[in-house]
A and B are shown apart, each in its own frame.
Chain A
Amino acid sequence: MEPLLSVRDLRVRFGAVTAVDGVSFDVLPGETVAVVGESGSGKSVTMQAVMGLLPRGAEVTGSIVYDGRDLLARPLAETRKLCGTELAMIFQDPLSSLNPVFRVGRQIAESLVRRRGASRKERRAHAVELMRRVGIPDPERRVDEFPHQFSGGMRQRAMIAMALSLGPRLLIADEPTTALDVTVQAQIMRLLADLRRETGMGLALITHDLGVVAGVADRVVLMYAGRVVETGTTREVYDHRAHPYTEGLLASVPDDGGRADRLVPIPGQPPNPLRPPGGCPFHPRCRYVVDDCRTDAPVLVELAGRPADHRAACHRPEAVGA
């Protein structure tokens, strides 16, 4: 199957800081891909590059091919035209992502009005319909409310409704549940999964929480310090982790039993982007570190005896999980 989105060797630099360093991954139509990493790992920047949302001054190289078109080779305005209709995005903090001074309904239907020429009357009907679809109760009334009158979960539902308004084929969700209460998180994840099934759109889920990924994602892309360190189907990566960072992340996720006493945090801090360590960027925190790790940065390669799409960037993948 042709990938819907294909990112190849993407590099994003802000002055002296390299935020994304040679990232490649694909999203197939209708597939859910989770991009996982700590804050500062470059996962959000990668997706902002896809959407053309990076601030001016960012240096972007590599290729971002959407549906056969290389977005980086074309003017930004063309990427913008795809935003909303083909690609849509929801953000981490649904309160600050909604304009505080406009009614929620107006914001949800704004794309329909401005890009499809819907009338004011239609606008309201569209907004109500979209709000009903994402499970906002009493949409007839709430369509005229302002964002600050919505709860966190409802705001994120409104953001999702807004993203769905033009029927995109790929939805990018940037930490959609991080700012929400735990009970609401599950509801939003279920909603996203349901909508993905109904519409057949692809879903790129950015998260720092591997626990969120398990039930939802078909494949995972693990990022550390701007690079992909491991990728593969979710099942494969969970069962046959091949990178110490993946192992560390999994160890810090509560099991179904939620036995907090067994949680093990990864020691150390993420690298300073201004002074990245030489060699493998993870080596200062790695328990399997050998001399090679300090000098040679490992590349993302297939693993012996594993499926071809399971790759890791580690000098000692066999040591992990052994």
Chain B
Amino acid sequence: MTATLDAPRVRLRTKGKPGGVRIVGSLAVVCCYALCAVFGPMLFRFDPVAVDTRNRLLAPMSHTSAGDLVLFGTDQVGQDLLAKMMQGARVSMTIGISALLLSGLIGLVFGVLAGYFGGPLDSLLMRLADIQLAFPGILLAILIAAVLGPSVTNVIVVLSVSGWVTFARVVRGQVLATKRREYVDATRTLGARHWHIVRTCILPACRAPFLVIAALHIGDVILAEAALSFLGLGTPVTTPSWGTTIASGRDLLGTAWWISALPGIGLAVLVVAFGVLGDALRDRFDPKLAGR
């Protein structure tokens, strides 16, 4: 090995804030997906129970018997894969955003309560977080989903319950750091109530780290939803998410690779965009979070 260990060159800040290009670029990708999810299913009608046996397993870029171009091919029951993916985008993003909001809300409330009031409440909540982290990765979600059964609402609940810990920990840390600041003391000395202090001093300080974690977390939620659906614990076949679609093409890998491959790529691109967004937000707002 001839490599040397070099220190990163100090990048002179030339213009604007760091990560501007990455934030705009990744947001643009996310917006494209959002548009597809909202308007796609209106333009390309997708009927989950329709069967068109004459046009089964058509390869991408081929034509149906009616002469229509199917850009992404068709699946095993003759459905247009593009339409199915747009429907999947709607389902997956709905789940992702709902679960994100719900777990973010739980995490925010728990984090503020633990950090602001401290004491036994703090110990209780943080021990609960530790215990929950004893379930590795997606295992707790699998367990809960197995009991609740597959449905969109259940998936949202499952992913929210298993996702709040990161938010709570980061928010708590931020609250602890903010609580000791002079301006918070000053506000308290002036006779402000707890709710007022939380609203005017604490919550604004939590905004940046919360956003960073949210952007990094939503990708994980979408990935987890896909994994649950793959195991048959996610969304039912009647509301196919990307995960469901990927799973349904599993047995046809040899003959119709596109059924699994294309939704997977679609999903990965969105998650990459969220990942880039999260990293860029982190660089801009909170370099200290870099180690995560």
The answer to A–B direct touch (Cβ < 8 A) is yes
A interface vs B, CB < 8 Å? 55-57
Contacts of A56 in B (CB 8 A): 4, 6
Contacts of A57 in B (CB 8 A): 9
Residue of B with least CB distance to A55: B7
Contacts of B6 in A (CB 8 A): 55-56
In B1-48, the 8 Å CB interface with A consists of 4, 6-7, 9
Residue of A with least CB distance to B12: A15
Mostly, the A contact residues are: loop
Contacts of B4 in A (CB 8 A): 56
A240 to B6, CA, bound (A): 45
Residue of A with least CB distance to B6: A56
A56 to B8, CA, bound (A): 10
Q: How far, in Å, is B14 (CB) from chain A's closest CB?
A: 14
Mostly, the B contact residues are: loop
B interface vs A, CB < 8 Å? 4, 6-7, 9
Residue of B with least CB distance to A56: B6
Pairs across A and B, CB under 8 Å, 5 listed:
A55-B6, A55-B7, A56-B4, A56-B6, A57-B9
Q: How far, in Å, is A134 (CB) from chain B's closest CB?
A: 29
Contacts of B9 in A (CB 8 A): 57
A60 to B265, CA, bound (A): 50
Q: How far, in Å, is A73 (CB) from chain B's closest CB?
A: 21
Q: How far, in Å, is B223 (CB) from chain A's closest CB?
A: 36
A55 to B10, CA, bound (A): 12
Residue of B with least CB distance to A77: B2
Q: How far, in Å, is B171 (CB) from chain A's closest CB?
A: 33
Q: How far, in Å, is B9 (CB) from chain A's closest CB?
A: 7
Q: How far, in Å, is B13 (CB) from chain A's closest CB?
A: 15
Q: How far, in Å, is A232 (CB) from chain B's closest CB?
A: 37
Contacts of A55 in B (CB 8 A): 6-7
Q: How far, in Å, is B202 (CB) from chain A's closest CB?
A: 37
**Lowest 5 CB-CB distances: which A-B pairs, in order?**
A56-B6, A55-B7, A57-B9, A56-B4, A55-B6
Residue of A with least CB distance to B9: A57
Q: How far, in Å, is B2 (CB) from chain A's closest CB?
A: 9
Q: How far, in Å, is A205 (CB) from chain B's closest CB?
A: 27
Contacts of B7 in A (CB 8 A): 55
Q: How far, in Å, is B286 (CB) from chain A's closest CB?
A: 27
A56 to B7, CA, bound (A): 9
Q: How far, in Å, is B73 (CB) from chain A's closest CB?
A: 51
A55 to B6, CA, bound (A): 7
Residue of A with least CB distance to B7: A55
A56 to B9, CA, bound (A): 10
A55 to B9, CA, bound (A): 10
Q: How far, in Å, is A52 (CB) from chain B's closest CB?
A: 11
Q: How far, in Å, is B242 (CB) from chain A's closest CB?
A: 45
Q: How far, in Å, is B285 (CB) from chain A's closest CB?
A: 29
Q: How far, in Å, is A146 (CB) from chain B's closest CB?
A: 22
Q: How far, in Å, is A189 (CB) from chain B's closest CB?
A: 32
A7 to B9, CA, bound (A): 28
Q: How far, in Å, is A60 (CB) from chain B's closest CB?
A: 16
A55 to B7, CA, bound (A): 8
A149 to B266, CA, bound (A): 56
A269 to B9, CA, bound (A): 27
A57 to B9, CA, bound (A): 9
A56 to B4, CA, bound (A): 9
Q: How far, in Å, is B17 (CB) from chain A's closest CB?
A: 23
Q: How far, in Å, is B112 (CB) from chain A's closest CB?
A: 38
A57 to B10, CA, bound (A): 12
A19 to B101, CA, bound (A): 53
Q: How far, in Å, is B5 (CB) from chain A's closest CB?
A: 10
A57 to B7, CA, bound (A): 10
A55 to B8, CA, bound (A): 10
A57 to B8, CA, bound (A): 11
Q: How far, in Å, is B4 (CB) from chain A's closest CB?
A: 7
